């Protein structure tokens, strides 16, 4: 009898508590629809309760999020003029006080709870979603592959040299997002290439390295503030790449080569050893053909058997030794954050104003 009583009591109790939880869900978790207005125009109706970032994706606006919407890269900035909630801790870390004062928010941190009004730059509105097919995959250095993707019939991609694409990978519980710089010639609009370094335990890089020719992936873009300034094509330029940070520089060089190198261009490529160096022969040949283009590969830890006779040391040290002060009017730097900081310090010491140094970090 007592056992029956215990079982009945526990059941009743659990049912009551479950009822309480579902009631609170209905009351607290706002459900229903909300309108999103972008630049004064209604963009669409979305479900409440999700992040503004994913809500915008549903309305066809693709924002950059190199960190995959975790709130650490600070790239999904939008100006929210109405309907946002309080500022989140990660936003306080990633936004400057001027940006906060200008009502800038990180879309991945804002939850849609009511109708939202926002301002998005036209450049971001140009980014589109594409389903692309892998047409070739070539191993160009140790753990680095150059993957060439073809767009669907009738589609074209317009990007500036130095910009990047976001690649999606659908996991059972979420959609992973990673950013990869476009390494192809921007004049080719029906296809593009990405240089992907396989990272130990890396989700996306492992997936992309295993991708077979003919398989399709979802990408969106182009994004990125670091791109070759049209004015810079008439000025001496220095390009500094660390490892696979060469990707955006390859795109820039393709563009500069098209103009026939009308100005001095210097490419510094820093890697650990020769097996990490890629397209070395191609750039050496280019340097032989065009006297205005110079190529300086720098190895920080060359192996004895490689017989390396070129520059040794970290790329910023080589830059310090070989770059003439004030010989360049713009610099583009891409690589791991510590390398970029060191390179920026050297360039500033050489007399280049910080406003003329364009950087694109690829780790968050």
In angstroms, the CA 93 to CA 100 distance is 11
For residues 89 and 49, give the distance between their C-alpha atoms in angstroms, rounded to a whole number: 19
- Count Cβ atoms below 10 Å from residue 18 Cβ, excluding itself: 10
Site for another protein (CB under 8 A): which residue of 7, 15, 17, 135? Answer: 17
Report DSSP letters for 6-20, one per residue: HHHHHHHHHHHHHHH
CB of 86 to another protein, least distance (A): 5
For position 6 contacting another protein by CB under 8 A, the verdict is yes
| Comparison of 24 and 136: residue with beta carbon closer to another protein | 24
Q: Is 260 in the site for another protein (CB under 8 A)?
A: no
Q: Which of 48, 87, 140, 199 binds another protein (CB under 8 A)?
A: 87
Min dist CB 101 to another protein, Å, is: 18
- What's the order of all strands across the beta sheet hosting 311-312? 311-312, 293-299, 265-271, 237-242, 330-335, 357-361
Site for another protein in 18-77 (CB under 8 A): 20-21, 24-25, 27-30
Binding span for another protein by CB under 8 A among 13-21, 145-153, 190-198, 249-257? 13-21
Query: What are the φ and ψ backbone dihedral angles of 275, each rounded to 5 degrees?
Result: -70, -15
Selected from 45, 48, 59, 85, the binder of another protein by CB under 8 A is 85
Rounded (5°) CA angle 302-314-338 = 130
Q: Which is nearer to another protein, 7 or 102 (CB)?
A: 7
- List the one residue from 40, 89, 201, 214 that touches another protein (CB under 8 A): 89
Classify 119 in phi/psi space as left (phi over 0), alpha (psi -120 to 50) or beta: beta
Between strands 330-335 and 237-242, the pairing is: parallel
For 172-191, b/e burial (b = at least 16 CB within 10 A) is: eeeeebbbbbbbbbbeeeeb
Comparison of 21 and 102: residue with beta carbon closer to another protein: 21
Whichever of 86 and 201 has its CB closer to another protein, that residue is 86
- What's the CA gap between 178 and 74, in Å, rounded? 14
User: Of 15 and 349, which CB lies nearer to another protein in the complex structure?
Assistant: 15
Q: Residues 66, 220: contact at Cβ < 8 Å?
A: no
88 contacts another protein (rule: CB under 8 A): yes
155 in helix, strand or coil? coil
Q: Does 111 bind another protein (CB under 8 A)?
A: yes
Q: Give the total of residues touching another protein (CB under 8 A).
A: 24
Q: Which of 7, 9, 131, 203 binds another protein (CB under 8 A)?
A: 9
Report, in Å, the least distance between residue 11 CB and another protein: 12
**Binding residues for another protein (CB under 8 A):** 2, 5-6, 9-10, 13-14, 17, 20-21, 24-25, 27-30, 85-90, 109, 111
């Amino acid at each position: 009898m007592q056992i029956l009583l215990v079982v009945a009591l526990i059941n009743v109790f659990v049912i009551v508590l479950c009822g309480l939880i579902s009631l609170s869900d209905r009351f607290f978790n706002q459900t229903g629809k909300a309108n999103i207005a972008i630049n004064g125009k209604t963009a669409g109706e979305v479900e409440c309760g999700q992040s503004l970032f994913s809500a915008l994706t549903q309305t066809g606006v693709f924002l950059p999020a190199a960190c995959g919407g975790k709130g650490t890269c600070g790239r999904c900035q939008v100006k929210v003029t109405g309907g946002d909630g309080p500022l989140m801790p990660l936003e306080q870390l990633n936004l400057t006080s001027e940006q906060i004062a200008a009502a800038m928010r990180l879309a991945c941190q804002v939850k849609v709870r009511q109708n939202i009004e926002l301002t998005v730059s036209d450049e971001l509105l140009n980014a589109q979603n594409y389903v692309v097919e892998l047409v070739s995959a070539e191993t160009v250095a140790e753990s680095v592959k150059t993957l060439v993707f073809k767009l669907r019939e009738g589609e074209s991609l317009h990007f500036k040299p130095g910009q990047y694409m976001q690649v999606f990978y659908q996991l059972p519980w979420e959609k992973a997002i990673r950013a990869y710089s476009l390494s192809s010639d921007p004049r080719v609009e029906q296809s593009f290439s990405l240089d992907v370094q396989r990272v130990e335990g890396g989700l996306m890089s492992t997936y992309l390295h295993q991708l077979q020719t003919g398989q399709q992936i979802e990408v969106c873009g182009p994004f990125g503030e670091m791109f070759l300034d049209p004015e810079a094509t008439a000025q001496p330029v220095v390009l500094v790449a660390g490892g696979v940070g060469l990707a955006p520089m390859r795109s820039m060089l393709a563009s500069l080569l098209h103009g026939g190198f009308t100005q001095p261009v210097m490419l510094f490529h820093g890697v650990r050893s020769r097996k990490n160096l890629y397209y070395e022969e191609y750039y050496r040949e280019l340097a032989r053909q065009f006297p205005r283009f110079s190529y300086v590969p720098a190895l920080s830890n060359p192996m004895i058997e490689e017989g390396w006779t070129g520059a040794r040391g970290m790329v910023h040290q080589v830059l310090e030794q070989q770059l003439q002060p004030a010989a360049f009017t713009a610099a583009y730097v891409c690589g791991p954050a510590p390398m970029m900081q060191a390179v920026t310090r050297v360039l500033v010491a050489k007399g280049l104003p910080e406003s003329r140094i364009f950087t694109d970090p690829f780790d968050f």
